A = this chain, B = another copy of it.
Amino acid sequence: MALKGRVLYDFHSENPGEISITENELVTLFSEEELEGWLEGENSRGEAGLFPASYVEIIRDHITSSTNNNGFSSPKAKTQTPTHASHPSPDSQSQRGFGAGSGGSSFHTSQGSDDDWDDDWDDTSPAADAPQGFGSSPPLYPVTTSLPGRGSAQQQQQQQAKSSATVGRNLNRFSTFVKSGGEAFLLGEASAFVKDGDRICVVMGKHGPEWQEDPYPFTCTIDDPTKQTKFKGMKSYMSYGLTPTHTNIQVNRRYKHFDWLYARLVERFPVISVPHLPEKQATGRFEEDFISKRRKGLIWWMNHMVSHPVLARCDVFQHFLTCGADEKAWKQGKRKAERDELVGANFFLTISTPAVPLDLQEVESKMEGFKTFTKRMDENIVVVNATINEFAHKQMAGFKKEYQKVGQSFKLLAQAFELDQQAYSAGLNKAIAYTGEAYEAIGDYFAEQPRHDLDPISDLLDLYRGHLANFPDIIHVQKGALTKVKDCPKQEGDLHDRCNIISCATLAEVQHFHRTRVRDFRSQMQHHLRQQIGFFQKITAKLEDALQRYDDGQ
């Protein structure tokens, strides 16, 4: 018997392969299974094709249940509806990254499940990040990758809303302490078997507690993504070739794999700032720009991952980096990671601390200082980012225009002079015309330059804004533990030990953040200045070339 659906909202097809459907129309569904947010079927006029799954309510025997009765349009949300109820309860998901993250950055987590993989939703669907639909207005529907620009107005609005400094705005502080597992651990409720390989060491360094260094450091390259298609070419996605140096074997990963990994890491490490993934949907209008921007973002992300002593070594990341094309091995590792017991509260069981416990008062003061630091840094990099972006824009528009106008006017001068046919004038005329061209070229140099020296700074600032959005929660976990210790003087012994573990891990992470920050900003500023020097030298060379021309005809 053919599966039927009732149309909830009008949908007008805009692309080949889509069909239009009208509210209250009955449609025949070819399958209950969604293709990245789309269903395939036939409308009452006999047209067959795709339409948004969220626009249709599937009609079942006696039980009428909307495909998507909570109005969510993202596949993530859909996995929580009755029709897709075959996976872990939502409570087991990490909520971190939604608290401060949803206000402070555009990065997100994704829940892991086999359904997610099979469902295989589109990487570049803007709907996945779009606001949820409420009331009777139609939800946003997924957009095919052939239309990268759609939905960008909403995205831009979101971007704008995110552009203010946000550290410290977590309204859900107490629950973070609870949800992270910090509280459970502190109260001695955590329990799991910790293998030696899972042990994470905090050592006492010159500047305080720090993560023990990775004895086998490695890096990982990310190649230009290649476009892959499926569903008879109707849907496409990008695949990235990753080559970690410790295996030197390339593996192919899609954005959704990164997304899945990110969710695992956030769940696994309550007081570690997992670098945010680059935005799911770029605001740029051109697919090429978007791909290039995302790849750069992923490279930044990867560099942060491999340079973190704890993240770089953890099983799920290693599985991600090393598992080849064997689908079975991949799923095995995937399930293992999703069933990992050492998440949340149990994470703290894996921490080995230095022999001498920390002075908790000193820890408190350090954390206060760090809180102030992150707040100021977040505020100021918002300004830096805005300034740099405006500067880039000015160079690409105004500066270019000015130099080109001067170039054109010199060429006009040369044109007037060329009316004088005397031999002694010819050399000068050519030289002035060449000077005009040189100025036009300099205009182009100005327009091209920002992508070489301002965009990378902007990318770095984006990454750090992600970290700064993570830290309020991390600070809160430590602060929650400290408060608990103060509140319960009776159990001080054990609580104190466990608070020491949380504090050691937190301070180690803070230390790591500072070191990485100094390293990254130093190298990025150096890169910027070297690029700028090269840029001005290029201009100088062009002008010297032009100057040379005035000697020729003399």
Contact = CB atoms under 8 A, between A and B. Distances in A.
A84 interface: no
A404 to B, nearest CB: 10
A519 to B, nearest CB: 9
B415 A380 contact: yes
Given A435-B525, A533-B547, A536-B536, A398 B409 contact: no
A545 to B, nearest CB: 10
Contacts of A409: 380, 383-384, 387-388
Interface residues of A, number: 62
Interface string A421-440: 11111001001100100000
A428 B522 contact: yes
A546 interface: yes
A540 B533 contact: yes
A488 B421 CA distance: 33
A379 interface: yes
Interface string A199-222: 000000001000000000000000
For A383, A514, A526, A529, the residue with the greatest tally of chain B CB atoms inside 10 Å of its CB is A529
Contact of A543 (B388, B422, B533, B540): B533
A529 B416 contact: no
Given A537-B540, A539-B536, A405 B419 contact: no
Nearest to A398: B398
B391 A405 contact: yes
Given A373-B420, A428-B518, A525-B435, A384 B413 contact: yes
Contacts of A547: 526, 529-530, 533
Contacts of A533: 540, 543-544, 547
A394 interface: yes
A420 B376 CA distance: 11
Contacts of A521: 413, 417, 428, 432
A443 to B, nearest CB: 11
A431 B421 CA distance: 56
Contacts of A255: none
A184 interface: no
A554 interface: yes
Contact of A383 (B412, B431, B554): B412
A427 to B, nearest CB: 8
A417 B377 contact: yes
A517 B540 CA distance: 27
Contacts of A529: 435, 543-544, 546-547, 550
A416 B381 contact: yes
Contacts of A72: none
A188 interface: no
A369 interface: yes
Given A419-B372, A544-B533, A380 B522 contact: no
Contacts of A517: 417
Q: What is the copy number of this chain in the assembly?
A: 2
A522 B424 CA distance: 11
A515 interface: yes
A379 B409 CA distance: 11
Interface string A385-405: 001101100100011001001
A420 B536 contact: no
A145 interface: no
A532 interface: yes
Contacts of A381: 413, 416
Contacts of A380: 409, 412-413, 415-416
Contact of A425 (B387, B415, B514): B514
A445 to B, nearest CB: 11
Contacts of A543: 529, 532-533, 536
A416 B518 contact: no
A406 interface: yes
A184 B517 CA distance: 88
Nearest to A412: B380
Nearest to A410: B384
A394 B401 CA distance: 11
Interface pairs A-B: 4 shortest CB-CB: A387-B409, A380-B416, A529-B547, A384-B409
23 contacts: A369-B419, A372-B419, A379-B416, A381-B416, A383-B412, A387-B406, A388-B406, A388-B409, A390-B405, A391-B405, A391-B406, A398-B398, A417-B517, A424-B518, A431-B522, A431-B525, A432-B521, A432-B525, A435-B529, A529-B543, A529-B546, A533-B544, A536-B543
Given A381-B416, A394-B402, A425-B518, 4 more contacts: A377-B416, A398-B398, A417-B521, A529-B543
Interface of A: 207, 369, 372-373, 376-377, 379-381, 383-384, 387-388, 390-391, 394, 398-399, 402, 405-406, 408-410, 412-413, 415-417, 419-425, 428, 431-432, 435, 514-515, 517-518, 521-522, 525-526, 529-530, 532-533, 536-537, 539-540, 543-544, 546-547, 550, 554
